[in-house]
A and B are shown apart, each in its own frame.
Chain A
Amino acid sequence: MHWLTTALPLILVAPLLGELLHLAEPLRWLLPGALLLATPLLSLLGAVCVALTVGMHRSGMLLALLVLPLYVPVLIFGAGACNAAQAGLPFLAPLLWLGAALVLALVLAPLACAAALRISLS
């Protein structure tokens, strides 16, 4: 739900922005593609971290600290794919990594969320 309101508009507007910024040919559809893979991953990882801090006062700063190391690899692969495409290099590998991580997270994140909630509400 959160993803629909924050990430989806960005993905929809990305091709338009790409057109406006005169992005090169592969990048124009690669950028939304990478976003499509990366943003649900970010939401899933964030959900697990939020579940750990449920019921805690002043958790904002802490949440940022928890989430940051988990987000950095996603950022690296996404940015890596776009960089490689811009330089005319093969960019499939980082995208595949993102996809693999997304599939793993789709399966494991709800379980991890449940376990984390159980811990923080016990």
Chain B
Amino acid sequence: MNALTLWFHKTGSPPTAYRLAGRLMPWCYGVGFVLGLVALYGGLVLAPRDYQQGDAYRIIFVHVPCAWMSLFAYLFMAANAFIALVWRIKLSEVLAMAAAPIGAAFTFVTLVTGSIWGKPMWGTWWTWDARLTSELVLLFLYFGVIGLHAAIEDRRQAARAAGFLALIGIVNLPIVHFSVNWWNTLHQGETVRLLGPSKIDASMIWPLLTMALATHLWFFGSVLARTRIGLLELDGGKDWVREIALATDGAGERA
């Protein structure tokens, strides 16, 4: 076995992953929280008013990063589900299932903030616009994955079945992403672009991108936290879990 595969297997083993996640998690949460505060200050206080939408546009600083995250979380989940199905890596199963509820939460926040924004701007809470509908479908896909995972008794089989569903559901991802280009409906088109100039002013884009970074970090923080618990559950009764349990018990008694 060469060094890379060795490292890969070592990091992928539950005890090492548990420790690594424990070390990374506070950093993700901490930096994500600080960046989030900075972005909120930049977006709510520093950025200028929009000439057309006034102050109401400021919900963009929550809505858009959450929408990006809802797609990113699904991609993360599906990629891990794929790895779990093909190479049967335990850690990937746990990672994929850890990402599902968080992605669902981001999707839910996107839908809620979107409808709050839609009420004053479009005059309606909800329309069956292409992007709105596909985002709702995404939410139900998350629910399906969570439900399927919860419904099967055997944890590993549950993760595989739910992961498979996640892989089927990935057809929806390009639909969400390109819906504003394919159908000319109410939702506005792409404003921020990775390639080429964005159609948004620099004073508004930096809080947006900072917020996107913050939500990514927060996402990884929560994924790691959930993964730690998932690993403990999956490996309950094994030696390394018993050691941790005994250690925390001892600490509790001493305190």
Contact = CB atoms under 8 A, between A and B. Distances in A.
Interface of A: 48-49, 52-53, 56, 59, 62, 65-66, 68-70, 72-73, 76, 112, 115-116, 119-120, 122
Nearest to B144: A66
A67 to B, nearest CB: 8
Contact of A69 (B141, B152, B157, B160): B141
Main secondary structure of the interface of A (DSSP, over half): helix
Question: Which 7 pairs, one residue from A and one from B, show the smallest C-beta to C-beta distance?
Answer: A69-B140, A69-B137, A66-B144, A69-B141, A119-B160, A65-B144, A119-B161
Interface string B143-169: 110011001100001001100110011
Chain B: number of interface residues, binned into ranges: 20 to 34
A76 B130 CA distance: 9
Main secondary structure of the interface of B (DSSP, over half): helix
Interface string B171-197: 010010000000000000000000000
B147 A52 contact: no
Given A62-B147, A120-B157, A68 B140 contact: yes
B126 to A, nearest CB: 15
Contact of A52 (B140, B143, B161): B161
A52 B164 contact: yes
A62 B157 CA distance: 16
Interface string B107-149: 0000000000000000000000000011011101101100110
A44 to B, nearest CB: 11
A52 B157 contact: no
Residue among B136, B137, B157, B169 facing the most chain A CB atoms (10 A cut-off): B137
Contacts of A72: 133, 136-137, 140
Contacts of B152: 56, 120
A116 B144 contact: no
B234 to A, nearest CB: 17
Contact of A119 (B133, B137, B138, B157): B157
Given A72-B133, A119-B161, A59 B175 contact: no
A76 B134 CA distance: 10
Contacts of B141: 69
